[in-house]
Amino acid sequence: MDISYIELPALDFDKMIDFYGQAFGWKFEDCGFQYVGFSNSGIQGGFSKIYEAPPRGGPIIMLKSEDPAATEVIIRNLGAEIVGHFDFPAGERFHFLDPTGNELAIWYKTPEAAGEPKV
């Protein structure tokens, strides 16, 4: 079965909408009290209202970037905290914390992972 929907906890909808809209071009829909849906993200999802920061250590959502350096600059400028850079067989990735403290990752395929020589 395919994953069909992603839900992220949100302490502040305005901060989350501003961050994900500016960083990645996501679109949003107010779904009523305590919920905002998002689209234009590769998969539909939503933000559910919470009142304390979520614990770290849960599943990691990874977003693919063709220009990871530019993506990192954008999300840093929007206030994301970068919490690590990692190599793995499919490429490289870096993890960041969004305005609520959710940990996500940006991944990208390196030339070596694609079987191409690095120039």
Q: Among candidates 80, 84, 82, which has minimal Cα distance to 98?
A: 80
Q: Are 49 and 13 in contact (CB under 8 A)?
A: yes
Give the pLDDT score at 116.
57
**Of the candidate ranges 58-62, 81-85, 87-91, the one whose mean pLDDT is the lowest:** 87-91
Q: Among candidates 56, 57, 103, 47, which has minimal Cα distance to 80?
A: 103
Chain-wide mean pLDDT for the chain? 92
* CB neighbour list of residue 93: distance below 8 Å, 6 or more residues apart: 62, 85, 86, 105, 106, 107, 108
Question: What is the CATH T-level fold of the domain 6-108, as seen in this structure?
Answer: 2,3-Dihydroxybiphenyl 1,2-Dioxygenase; domain 1 (3.10.180)
**Residue count (the chain):** 119
Can you give the pTM of this predicted structure?
0.88
Is residue 56 pLDDT above 90, yes or no? no
Is residue 8 pLDDT above 90, yes or no? yes
